[in-house]
Amino acid sequence: MNDLGLAARASNARKVGRLEWVDATKGLGIILLVVLHVEAVSNAALAAPIVWVLRLFRMPMFFVVAGLLFSPKVPLTLARKKAISLLVPYVSYLALIWAAIALRYALLGIPSFYLTPTGLVAMIRGGERLNGEYGVFWFLTCLFFTQLTYGILIRRWGSPLKAQVIWAVITLLSIGYVVAWVEPWFASPLALGVVPFGLPLFWFGHVLKVASPDPRNVALGSVAVLVIAGLMWCFGVPLGMDMKYADPGVPLLSIAVAIALTCLFFELMKRVCKLPFFGAKLASLGEAAVVIMFLHQFVHRTLRAVGLGIDLVLIATGVLVPLAFWYIFKRSDVLSRLFLGIERQGHGRQEKIYI
């Protein structure tokens, strides 16, 4: 191999090394999301505390990760790329899961709201109207509009550290708080109402990328936030937020708790990736995160409907069955474009990172 080829391989190896902990974060994060959804409908003794802890940061973390991976582009270019990587899979999984629900009904007689006209309308409207097998679908449309909004701000002012960007994010967040206070049960189509709460998380991820703060200072700040939050919780102040339902929790505090837990989770994953086995395996799961995100609800809910109630088995199948689909999807040009958001570039192809 010539020197140019060796240099290219070395460059790719360095790039993989820098991003492995991010993929590993997505890998363990998606496992925790499966755990959350399985335990949320479980009667196990530890189910409630597990769900409470995971709800403090599980979805906010994915917005921070997306911000960490963000690269500014011309708005129309960004919109086109994100439509391919986010909206095409969104529509594809809508159709795939609906077909699976219909087949399940034909074979097992398990009814579903989404087989009714009202359910079909809810599917089209999207956002927090979607529950059950479609319960995570709000995330992709919200992430799409969050990235477009943030992309416009960065295109205009250039850096997440600029005062104009910070004030724009704060202003939109404040509008979100006002709407949540005035209309707490308002259900926005395509999760547009969640964008104000996704923006500060996305912005923080981009700050981590641009500013590269000292990890020790980030960790100390995160611990300080959690200590203060813990003291407030002891006095009855709730800490969590539910982004899907545009429930922001306690203004600023709930977002701060989510960011603090996310930062500590990042530091944990950087250390896990130094282990020879776990880091690589979790990074592989991270590449399949979106497939697992979309399909695990159908898998574990179907198994519960037929009488299987062992949580560990439901968690394992909720990860492994979608993982098998990921292996199938990535080997087909058509399926990879539809379900993985892969866009052809020249004679090769590039897999977009969703979360």
Average pLDDT over residues 172-198: 91
pLDDT for position 132: 93
pLDDT bin (cut points 50, 70, 90) of residue 345 is low
Phi, then psi, of 348 in degrees rounded to 5:
-110, -165
Spatial neighbors of 175 by CB under 8 A, at least 6 apart, are 196
Which of 139-153, 270-284, 326-340 has the lowest average pLDDT?
270-284
pLDDT for position 49: 94
Q: For residue 150, give the amino acid letter.
A: Y
Residue 7 has pLDDT above 80, yes or no: no
pLDDT for position 183: 86
Burial class of residue 38 in the structure, from the number of CB atoms within 10 Å of its CB (0-12 exposed, 13-18 middle, 19+ buried): buried
pLDDT for position 246: 85
Better pLDDT: 11 or 185:
185
Estimate to the nearest angstrom the gap between the alpha carbon of 174 and the chain centroid: 23
pLDDT for position 34: 97
Average pLDDT over residues 315-320: 97
State pLDDT tens for residues 207-263: 999 999 999 999 999 999 999 999 999 999 999 899 988 889 999 999 999 999 999
Check: CB of residue 68 under 8 Å from CB of residue 311: no
Average pLDDT over residues 313-341: 96
Using CA atoms, how far apart are residues 280 and 287, in angstroms rounded to an integer?
11
Residue 16 has pLDDT above 50, yes or no: no
Phi, then psi, of 10 in degrees rounded to 5:
-65, -40
Check: CB of residue 203 under 8 Å from CB of residue 70: no
Structure tokens given for 284: 């592989």
Residue 42 CA: distances (Å) to CA of 11, 35, 315: 47, 10, 11
Average pLDDT in the chain:
90
pLDDT for position 13: 40
Residue 17 has pLDDT above 60, yes or no: no
pTM reported for the whole predicted model: 0.91
Using CA atoms, how far apart are residues 203 and 64, in angstroms rounded to an integer?
7
Residue 346 has pLDDT above 90, yes or no: no
Check: CB of residue 246 under 8 Å from CB of residue 176: yes
270-287: b (≥16 Cβ within 10 Å) or e: bebbeeeeebeebbebbb
State pLDDT tens for residues 93-146: 999 999 999 999 999 999 999 999 999 999 999 998 899 999 999 999 999 999
Average pLDDT over residues 160-169: 97
pLDDT for position 276: 79
pLDDT for position 5: 40
State pLDDT tens for residues 48-83: 999 999 999 989 999 999 999 999 999 999 999 999
Using CA atoms, how far apart are residues 181 and 124, in angstroms rounded to an integer?
26
pLDDT for position 186: 77
CB atoms within 10 A of CB 292: 26
Burial class of residue 140 in the structure, from the number of CB atoms within 10 Å of its CB (0-12 exposed, 13-18 middle, 19+ buried): buried
Structure tokens given for 18: 């820098």
pLDDT bin (cut points 50, 70, 90) of residue 355 is low
Check: CB of residue 266 under 8 Å from CB of residue 29: no
* Residue/partner pairs of 70-79 with CB below 8 Å, 24 or more apart: 70/147, 70/150, 70/151, 70/202, 70/205, 70/206, 70/209, 72/151, 72/154, 72/155, 73/151, 74/155, 75/148, 75/151, 75/152, 75/155, 78/147, 78/148, 78/151, 79/148
Region of residue 44 (left: phi > 0; alpha: psi -120 to 50; beta: else): beta
pLDDT for position 275: 85
